[in-house]
Copies of this chain bind each other. A is one copy, B any other.
């Protein structure tokens, strides 16, 4: 009877060790799959957001950087038009909804740890609300900013 109890306890200890090993091993397996695998596992931050760069698919010019939540990413994939999450307005933002300057998404790329996206886009007009083709229209020279698009 003692032997049977010992066997039963050992068996449960073994299972619990196995389970805890699986729990420990899970994150590194998952990290490897995330970094090198073919599974799309976007990493949203604590606020549910992921960074998304938009670049011109023809010229390669970097147009803007914004944030997507799961809803914006789903809408972008569904419609082919870049959607973001407006942090200031706290809601879904179809880029171009007021200006008409939509971004047609031709490719979605993801970085190694899947916490950033790169959208290759065909812009219908200036990407920046100031009228500049790119939001990155100023360069730092010493302590001042100078326009780089003139």
Contacts and interface: CB of A to CB of B under 8 A. Distances in A.
Contacts of A136: 109-111, 116, 118
A11 interface: no
Contacts of A7: none
A148 B40 contact: no
B38 A146 contact: yes
Chain A interface category by residue count: 35 or more
> By CB atoms of chain B within 10 A, which of A61, A112, A130 has the most?
A112
Nearest to A41: B145
Given A135-B111, A144-B38, A53 B60 contact: no
30 contacts: A35-B130, A38-B145, A38-B146, A39-B144, A39-B145, A40-B140, A40-B144, A51-B65, A53-B53, A53-B62, A53-B65, A55-B62, A60-B61, A64-B111, A77-B140, A107-B140, A109-B136, A109-B137, A109-B138, A109-B139, A109-B140, A110-B136, A110-B138, A110-B139, A111-B128, A111-B135, A111-B136, A112-B128, A112-B129, A112-B137
Interface of A: 35-40, 51, 53, 55, 60-62, 64-65, 77, 107-112, 116, 118, 128-130, 132, 135-140, 143-146, 148
The 10 closest A-B pairs by CB, nearest first: A111-B135, A60-B60, A109-B136, A65-B116, A108-B140, A118-B136, A112-B135, A38-B144, A38-B145, A109-B139
